[in-house]
Amino acid sequence: MRGDPGSVDRWMERESRNLNAGLVTARKRLADLLRETTPMCRTRDGTEWPIDREALARIAAACRPGEAEDLRLPIALHFSSELEDACYITDALAAEVLRRVESFGPAFPFREGRMVLPASLGVDLVSRFKGAIQQVFL
């Protein structure tokens, strides 16, 4: 690894691929997931990504007419090394529906293309929404 200047880049690329292998690449509409017997998506590496039916019901209950057709799950919650103690959602509809589900009120406004949340809240949301929210590491 020492004399080869590209070895670190190749290692970083491989680690990034491994880290993101479990990401859902084809998200599904909430309305479609609600109709499935076993709601799930598939990850980049082909494994099943189950989504808890109760989490879907909570999200659906907060949707206005037509939003369940437009909202795609899982919601991507981005964690970046550029933000030490925060994470963010870039999907405006997902942010608005999550705001209603969680009763955020005016906290965590959607500005400049993202809703920024404390990292601890983000981890809690991922845990409680069991598959409906997915961590994306950048």
- Residue 64: DSSP 8-state: P
Q: At 31, is the pLDDT very low, low, confident or very high (cuts 50, 70, 90)?
A: very high
pLDDT for the residue 16: 64
| Span 60-105, pLDDT tens digits | 999 999 999 999 999 999 998 888 899 999 999 999 999 999 999 9
Q: Can you tell me the mean pLDDT for 102-111? A: 96
Q: How far apart are CA 88 and CA 110, in angstroms?
A: 10
| Span 34-55, pLDDT tens digits | 999 999 999 988 999 999 999 9
Neighbours of 21 (CB within 10 A): 12
- Tell me the whole-structure pTM to 2 decimals: 0.85
- Please give the mean pLDDT across all residues of the chain: 91
Q: How far apart are CA 53 and CA 50, in angstroms?
A: 9
Q: At 15, is the pLDDT very low, low, confident or very high (cuts 50, 70, 90)?
A: low
